[in-house]
Amino acid sequence: MTTGDIALLISILSVVIAGIALGWNIYRDLQRPTLRINFSVNEIIGTEGVVSHDNLIISGTNMGPGKIILNGIFLTKP
């Protein structure tokens, strides 16, 4: 193997690594954030019995990449 062949091999390897890095960055940027939301209706029970009436508990977990902005929640009581 001559020095020209080694230089060509290193160049090809560099292009392959750069291509993989570019592909990963594009894939990562195209992913959408995922939000998992849980609703539950609970009563808080203390040592003296039921402390409060039904409470609506809403929790959210960011399951994906990126930031998620919650704009608001609107609830009405029937």
pLDDT digits (tens, 9 = 90+) for 13-49: 999 999 999 999 888 878 777 888 888 877 777 777 6
Residues 41 and 74 reside in one and the same domain: yes
Query: Which of the two residues, 33 and 3, has the higher pLDDT score?
Result: 3
Q: What are phi and psi of 15, to 5 degrees?
A: -65, -40
Predicted local distance difference test score (pLDDT) of residue 75 = 63
Residues 45 and 16 reside in one and the same domain: no
Residues 1 and 16 reside in one and the same domain: yes
Q: What's at 27, amino acid-wise? A: Y
Whole-Å CA distances, 46 to 40, 49, 69: 19, 5, 34
Q: How confident is the model at residue 4 (pLDDT cuts 50, 70, 90)?
A: confident
Q: What does the alpha-carbon distance between residue 37 and residue 27 come to, in Å, rounded to a whole number? A: 25
Instruction: Say whether pTM exceeds 0.85.
Output: no
Summary mean pLDDT of the chain: 81
Residues 52 and 37 reside in one and the same domain: yes
Q: What is the DSSP letter of 70?
A: -
**Number of domain units in the chain:** 2
Q: What does the alpha-carbon distance between residue 2 and residue 76 come to, in Å, rounded to a whole number? A: 78
